[in-house]
Amino acid sequence: MPRPFKCRQVGCKPDISYFKPRGIPVNKLEEVILTMDEFESVRLADLEGMYQDDAAKKMNISRQTFGNIVKSAHKKIAEALVNGKAIKIEGGIYQMEGMRKFKCCECEHTWEVAYGLGRPPECPKCQSNNIHRDREDCGHARSGRLGQGRKRCRRMPI
Ligand SMILES: [Zn+2]
């Protein structure tokens, strides 16, 4: 029975989104599609070693849903390894975390900048450099809620 999807938070886009076994011609190659939320679940659970409870919170989903996602991800990865299939990482219902909100003190313009792009030098609307982080967003930054994952993704254009 289909239920409405909650938006799944994903903290990191993969550098490489296609894995292919060596020596198999493309026309004979079968693919499994690993969705971005499945990729993220594996990153959190297996690579970062997070507890399912914590990882589920980080992705803004229930623990049960997280369990299902990570199980599905493991099955797909196993299928690719065992049967020599390619893995393509794309799609899924997700939302990138870690956008920073800025506000211009001159013209009140607000806009978002992805982590990794650095602090904008000026307001894109009026070119004033009298800008600051939006208050609500600063609160999140202080609490460290997004934690380590973000740092690993510094270089990534989002
Ligand atoms: Zn401005």
Domain range for 132 is 99-152
Residues 28 and 89 in one domain: yes
Lowest mean pLDDT among 34-38, 69-73, 115-119: 115-119
Lowest mean pLDDT among 60-64, 106-110, 135-139, 154-158: 154-158
In a domain, 48, yes or no: yes
- Total domains in the chain come to 2
The alpha carbon of 136 and the centre of ligand 1 are apart by a number of angstroms equal to 19
The alpha carbon of 85 and the centre of ligand 1 are apart by a number of angstroms equal to 51
Q: Give start and end residues of each alpha helix (H) in the chain.
A: 36-42, 52-58, 63-83, 135-143, 149-152
The answer to whether residue 155 scores a pLDDT higher than 60 is: no
Residues near ion ligand 1 (Cβ under 5 Å): 104, 106-107, 109, 123, 125-126, 128
Residues 69 and 42 in one domain: yes
Where is the domain boundary, 51, 71, 95? Answer: 95
pLDDT at residue number 63: 96
Residues 88 and 44 in one domain: yes
Where is the domain boundary, 68, 95, 122? Answer: 95
pLDDT confidence band for 111 (50 / 70 / 90): confident
pLDDT at residue number 153: 37
CA–CA distance, 115 with 152 (Å, rounded to integer): 11
pLDDT at residue number 54: 94
Report which of residues 153 and 106 the model is more confident about: 106
DSSP track, 44-88? IIIIS---HHHHHHHTTS-HHHHHHHHHHHHHHHHHHHHHT-EEE
How far out from the chain centre does Cα 88 lie? 16
pLDDT at residue number 4: 53
The alpha carbon of 100 and the centre of ligand 1 are apart by a number of angstroms equal to 16
In a domain, 3, yes or no: no
Residues 57 and 121 in one domain: no
pLDDT digits (tens, 9 = 90+) for 1-59: 555 556 677 876 777 889 999 988 888 899 999 999 999 999 999 999 999 999 999 88
In a domain, 1, yes or no: no
Residues 13 and 25 in one domain: yes
The alpha carbon of 138 and the centre of ligand 1 are apart by a number of angstroms equal to 19
The CATH number of residue 133's host domain is 2.20.28
Joined together, the tokens standing for residue 134 give: 């939006």
The alpha carbon of 102 and the centre of ligand 1 are apart by a number of angstroms equal to 10
pLDDT digits (tens, 9 = 90+) for 74-98: 999 999 999 999 999 988 777 776 6
Which whole-number Å values give the CA distances from 91 to 2, 34, 72, 88, 118, in the listed order? 18, 8, 15, 10, 27
Q: What are phi and psi of 15, to 5 degrees?
A: -65, -40
In a domain, 55, yes or no: yes
Where is the domain boundary, 47, 76, 95? Answer: 95
Measured on CA atoms in the order 133, 136, 141, 147, is the torsion positive or negative?
negative
The alpha carbon of 122 and the centre of ligand 1 are apart by a number of angstroms equal to 8
The alpha carbon of 156 and the centre of ligand 1 are apart by a number of angstroms equal to 27
The alpha carbon of 117 and the centre of ligand 1 are apart by a number of angstroms equal to 19
pLDDT at residue number 151: 38
Joined together, the tokens standing for residue 38 give: 């499945």
